[in-house]
Chains A and B, each alone.
Chain A
Amino acid sequence: MSTENYVCIACPIGCPLELVHEGDQIVDVSGNKCVRGAKYARQEFTDPRRTFSTTVPIEGSNWARLPVKLAAPVPKDRILEAAQAVHQLRVQAPIRMGEVLARDLLGLDGVNVVATRSLGRA
Chain B
Amino acid sequence: MRDATTCDVAIIGGGIVGCMIARELSRYRLKVVLVEKEAEVGFGTTKTNSGIIHPGHHTTLDTLKGRLVVKGNQLYDTLQAELGFGFRRIGELVVARTEEEVGVLREMEELAHQKGVPVEMWDQARLRREEPNLSRELIAALFAPTAGVINPYELAFATIESAVLNGVELWVDALVTAIDPVDGGLRVTTRDGELTAHTVVNAAGVFSDRVAAMVGADTFRILPRKGEEYMLDGRLKGLVRRLVFPVPNKVSKGTLIIPTYDGTIMVGPTAIDTDDRHDVSTSPEGARQIFDLVRGLCPSISERDTISEFAGLRAASDTGDFIIGRTAVPGFYNAAGIQSPGLTAAPAIALYLIQQMGEDGLALVEKERWEPQVEHPVRFAQRSVEEQRALVEADPAHGRVVCRCELVTEAEVRAAIAHGARTVDGVKFRTRTGMGRCQGGFCTTRVMELLQEELDIPFHSLTKRGGGSWMVTPMGEEA
User: What band does the interface of chain A fall in when counting residues whose beta carbon is under 8 Å from B?
Assistant: under 10
**Of residues 463 to 479 in B, which have CB atoms within 8 Å of A's CB atoms?**
475-477
**Of residues 428 to 479 in B, which have CB atoms within 8 Å of A's CB atoms?**
475-477
User: Interface of chain B, helix or strand or loop or mixed?
Assistant: helix
Which residues of A lie under 8 Å from residue B475 when comparing CB positions?
A: 87
Chain B: minimal CB distance from A29 (Å): 39
Which residues of B lie under 8 Å from residue A84 when comparing CB positions?
A: 476
Name the residue of chain A whose CB is nearest to the CB of B459: A64
Name the residue of chain B whose CB is nearest to the CB of A84: B476
- Report the separation of the CA atoms of residues A88 and B475 in the bound assembly, to the nearest whole angstrom: 12
User: Interface of chain A, helix or strand or loop or mixed?
Assistant: helix
Which residues of A lie under 8 Å from residue B476 when comparing CB positions?
A: 84, 87
- Report the separation of the CA atoms of residues A87 and B475 in the bound assembly, to the nearest whole angstrom: 10
Which residues of B lie under 8 Å from residue A88 when comparing CB positions?
A: 477
Chain B: minimal CB distance from A27 (Å): 44
Name the residue of chain B whose CB is nearest to the CB of A83: B476
Chain B: minimal CB distance from A91 (Å): 14
Chain B: minimal CB distance from A62 (Å): 11
- Report the separation of the CA atoms of residues A87 and B478 in the bound assembly, to the nearest whole angstrom: 11
**Of residues 56 to 109 in A, which have CB atoms within 8 Å of B's CB atoms?**
84, 87-88
Name the residue of chain A whose CB is nearest to the CB of B475: A87
Chain A: minimal CB distance from B448 (Å): 12
Which residues of A lie under 8 Å from residue B477 when comparing CB positions?
A: 87-88
- Report the separation of the CA atoms of residues A20 and B6 in the bound assembly, to the nearest whole angstrom: 84
- Report the separation of the CA atoms of residues A68 and B405 in the bound assembly, to the nearest whole angstrom: 32
- Report the separation of the CA atoms of residues A20 and B43 in the bound assembly, to the nearest whole angstrom: 64
Name the residue of chain B whose CB is nearest to the CB of A90: B477
- Report the separation of the CA atoms of residues A29 and B477 in the bound assembly, to the nearest whole angstrom: 43
Which residues of B lie under 8 Å from residue A87 when comparing CB positions?
A: 475-477
- Report the separation of the CA atoms of residues A87 and B477 in the bound assembly, to the nearest whole angstrom: 8
**Of residues 219 to 255 in B, which have CB atoms within 8 Å of A's CB atoms?**
none
- Report the separation of the CA atoms of residues A84 and B477 in the bound assembly, to the nearest whole angstrom: 9
Chain B: minimal CB distance from A63 (Å): 12
- Report the separation of the CA atoms of residues A41 and B477 in the bound assembly, to the nearest whole angstrom: 36
Name the residue of chain B whose CB is nearest to the CB of A65: B475
Chain B: minimal CB distance from A85 (Å): 12
Name the residue of chain A whose CB is nearest to the CB of B478: A57
- Report the separation of the CA atoms of residues A54 and B476 in the bound assembly, to the nearest whole angstrom: 13
- Report the separation of the CA atoms of residues A46 and B20 in the bound assembly, to the nearest whole angstrom: 74
Chain A: minimal CB distance from B227 (Å): 42
Chain A: minimal CB distance from B38 (Å): 30
C-beta contact mask, B300-336 vs A, less than 8 Å → 1, else 0? 0000000000000000000000000000000000000
- Report the separation of the CA atoms of residues A84 and B475 in the bound assembly, to the nearest whole angstrom: 12
- Report the separation of the CA atoms of residues A100 and B475 in the bound assembly, to the nearest whole angstrom: 23
Chain A: minimal CB distance from B422 (Å): 23
- Report the separation of the CA atoms of residues A87 and B476 in the bound assembly, to the nearest whole angstrom: 8
C-beta contact mask, B114-138 vs A, less than 8 Å → 1, else 0? 0000000000000000000000000
Q: Which residues of A contact B (CB under 8 A)?
A: 84, 87-88
The 4 A-B pairs with the shortest beta carbon distances in the complex, nearest first, are: A87-B476, A87-B477, A88-B477, A84-B476
| Contacts A/B (CB < 8 Å), 5 sampled | A84-B476, A87-B475, A87-B476, A87-B477, A88-B477
